[in-house]
């Protein structure tokens, strides 16, 4: 069985207190169906590119959308992703805690620590593998 995971991150800018990485995992045949149904959702709700921040803030393509329209879109996207994937996940790394607990302390010579982005990716990968194993 071939599995594909798509990841997206948020919070990479310096002012953000957290780095978030979300993922969706599915079998190859699920992605074929996923893409076809995604295109239908885009047409139904009249948008080309989904950015949750734009939906939340009412920016870009989602400017002047009513709360009800945005809620309907999110409900339909949620149903779509639940039906057309194995699972979804979110990894959150608090940047201050990362600095305080991971970046400080004595290290073995020539040992290179992950960046906050690298740590978030590593946690996401480990979590994905654990869920696939289950």
* Residues 106, 78: Cα–Cα separation, whole Å: 44
Q: What is the pLDDT of residue 88?
A: 93
Q: What is the pLDDT of residue 29?
A: 86
The domain in which residue 15 lies consists of: 3-133
* Residues 42, 49: Cα–Cα separation, whole Å: 8
DSSP result, 59-77:
-GGGTT--HHHHHHHHHHH
Q: What is the pLDDT of residue 104?
A: 84
Q: How many domains does the chain have?
A: 1
Q: What is the pLDDT of residue 28?
A: 87
Residue-wise pLDDT for 112-127, tens only, equals: 889 999 999 999 999 8
Q: What is the pLDDT of residue 35?
A: 87
Q: What is the pLDDT of residue 85?
A: 93
What residues of the chain score a pLDDT lower than 50?
Answer: none
- pTM value is 0.79
Strand pairing partners for 9? 21
**In contact, 17 and 96? CB cutoff 8 Å:** yes
* Residues 34, 120: Cα–Cα separation, whole Å: 26
């Amino acid at each position: 069985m071939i599995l594909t995971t798509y990841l997206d991150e948020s919070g990479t800018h310096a002012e953000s207190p957290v780095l978030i990485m979300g993922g969706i995992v599915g079998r190859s045949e699920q992605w074929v169906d996923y893409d076809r149904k995604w295109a239908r959702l885009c047409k139904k709700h009249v948008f080309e590119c989904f950015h949750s921040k734009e939906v939340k803030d009412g920016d870009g393509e989602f400017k002047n959308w009513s709360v009800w329209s945005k809620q309907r879109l999110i409900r339909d996207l949620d149903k779509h992703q639940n039906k057309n994937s194995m699972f979804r996940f979110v990894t959150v790394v608090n940047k201050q805690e990362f600095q305080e607990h991971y970046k400080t302390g004595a290290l073995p010579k020539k040992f290179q620590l992950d960046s906050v982005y690298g740590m978030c990716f590593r946690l996401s990968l480990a979590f994905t593998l654990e869920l696939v194993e289950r």
